[in-house]
Amino acid sequence: MPLIEAHAARLEQLPDDRWPADAEAQARMLRSVQALYGLDAVTVGARGLVTAARECRALEPDSVGEMASVTLARDVIRRLRPVLGERAGIAAVLPDASRLASLLGAPGETAWASAVLAELVRAVGPEEPDLILLCGDDPVDPTLEMIAEFFGASLLPIGRSAPAGMAAVTQAEFIRGDSPPGWLYTTTTEIEPAADPATVRAAIERLRGPR
């Protein structure tokens, strides 16, 4: 389950100025990349929801869910759900509080950032993503975990606080198949858009093989 959006867009030959604002294009490219690689889950929001988090500096936390990029991510999940069904999961991707605060140039404002993240999870939760991935090294926030569980989603941190058996590696390590044994494999950064599909497929097959 690598962070796959930018690579999926490149495979579909979608320009960078189009797919981040086109819900149907995003849903189509993620359906295609899931079928191509047999992914166990696709990721939504590695760009859009992070962008929304970064752009929310001037907003009250409870208005963040109304932002266009958040509405778009919800629409993408809604379009994916009936097609992927039981075949593959859907993971929404967000920065953790420390990373969000740092992205906004206010590293000390983690309490405000946590409030923003809570609203983002509440915004995407009704679309029932299977997972919510938090990029960063913060310990699990019990409040965010409780909100995610309310909507039936598992909250998983990507970084030093990742649970035992979850292998969160760089995209280069993922493509090399250089990951410790685990029950879930993901990346801390997006797979390079121009990554060779045959190489990515071979890496996934290695990870699925005996470890």
Average pLDDT, the chain: 89
> Does pLDDT of 51 surpass 70?
no
> Burial of 73 by CB count in 10 Å (0-12 exposed, 13-18 middle, 19+ buried)?
buried
Question: Which of 47-51, 152-156, 159-163, 181-185 shows the highest mean pLDDT?
Answer: 152-156
- pLDDT at residue 49, rounded to an integer: 65
Q: How confident is the model at residue 159 (pLDDT cuts 50, 70, 90)?
A: confident
Question: In b/e form, how buried is each residue of 165-198, taking b as 16+ CB within 10 angstroms?
Answer: ebbbbebebbbebebeebebbbbbbbbeeebeee
Higher local confidence (pLDDT), 11 or 104: 11
Poorest-pLDDT segment among 16-20, 82-86, 207-211: 207-211
Q: How confident is the model at residue 160 (pLDDT cuts 50, 70, 90)?
A: confident
Does the domain spanning 5-208 belong to CATH 3.20.20.210?
yes
- pLDDT at residue 68, rounded to an integer: 83
Which amino acid, 193? P
> Does pLDDT of 130 surpass 80?
yes
- pLDDT at residue 38, rounded to an integer: 94
Q: How confident is the model at residue 58 (pLDDT cuts 50, 70, 90)?
A: low
Tell me what percent of the residues of the chain surpass a pLDDT of 90: 55
Q: Domain limits of the chain?
A: 5-208
- pLDDT at residue 114, rounded to an integer: 92
Give the HSE-up count for residue 189: Cα atoms under 13 Å, Cβ half-sphere: 7
Poorest-pLDDT segment among 54-58, 94-98, 203-207: 54-58
